[in-house]
Amino acid sequence: MPDVRIMTEADLPVAARALSNAFMKDPLQNYTFPDDEERIAKSPAHFSAALRCGLLFGEVYMAENGEGASIWLKPGATEITPERAEASGFTALPAEIGEKAFERFFSVIGFGEQYHKMDVPGPHWYTMVVGVDPAFQGQGLGRALLQPVIDKAKAEGVPVYLETAQPANVSFYKKIGFDLLRELKEPTSGLGFWTFRLAP
């Protein structure tokens, strides 16, 4: 399995660029930034806030040479409170990526959050984001970026939870053992939305 390591603050720009590339054709990212040039320009700031949230309040893993990253929140700390949002930079995003883009993204995330709370009411590891630069996909990096926390969750006896708006990811998560919980459609965007749980 490819090598991954814990990300540091110094790695943040590289990881943000890798995630931006990974999600350039993702349905949710396309809904957030309908214009291609805007998506290219503003996605790094968008993912930087998520990465900083993981660094401050969870764990972040990255491929050894920065080809991808995974962002996790820990059991008992999966809620992004207003204080955590401010510390991570989420509250600054409307000024950085535009208010309309911010509203589009978080309307979909808010839709998913209600199911998150129902699907895993107890302690669990939450996969905020996992992505691999398309130039390096197909080499096992996605699985490698998930594996450290899957192993921790099994050792701790807690589940892992994640969502995706990317239809192509559904078979991947099933293949590595996640159970599909819900297949939904977000009403405003029309995006498909899938939730998954990996039992301990």
Domain 4-198 has CATH 3.40.630.30: yes
1: pLDDT strictly greater than 90: no
- Under DSSP, the state recorded for 166 is -
d(CA 54, CA 78): 10
Q: How far apart are CA 21 and CA 149, in angstroms?
A: 23
* Cα(18)–Cα(4) distance, integer angstroms: 14
Edge-to-edge strand list for the sheet holding 68-73:
4-6, 58-63, 68-73, 125-132, 160-164, 192-198, 179-185
Question: Residue 13: pLDDT band by 50, 70, 90 thresholds?
Answer: very high
Mean pLDDT to the nearest integer, 187-198: 96
Asked whether the predicted pLDDT for residue 46 surpasses 80, the reply is yes
Whole-angstrom Cα distance, residue 46 to residue 191? 19
Q: pLDDT grade, residue 2 (50/70/90)?
A: confident
Would you say 56 and 73 are in contact if contact means Cβ atoms under 8 Å apart?
A: no
52-109 pLDDT per residue, tens = 999 999 999 999 889 999 999 999 999 889 999 999 999 999 999 999 999 999 999 9
Both tokens of residue 143? 């699985």
Assign residue 159 a region: left if phi > 0, alpha if psi is -120 to 50, beta otherwise?
A: beta
Domain boundaries, the chain: 4-198
Mean pLDDT of 115-134: 95
The per-residue pLDDT for range 135-145, each reduced to its tens digit, is 999 889 999 99
Mean pLDDT of 24-31: 96
CA distance 24 to 194: 19
Q: What is the mean pLDDT of residues 152-170?
A: 96
CA distance 12 to 74: 20
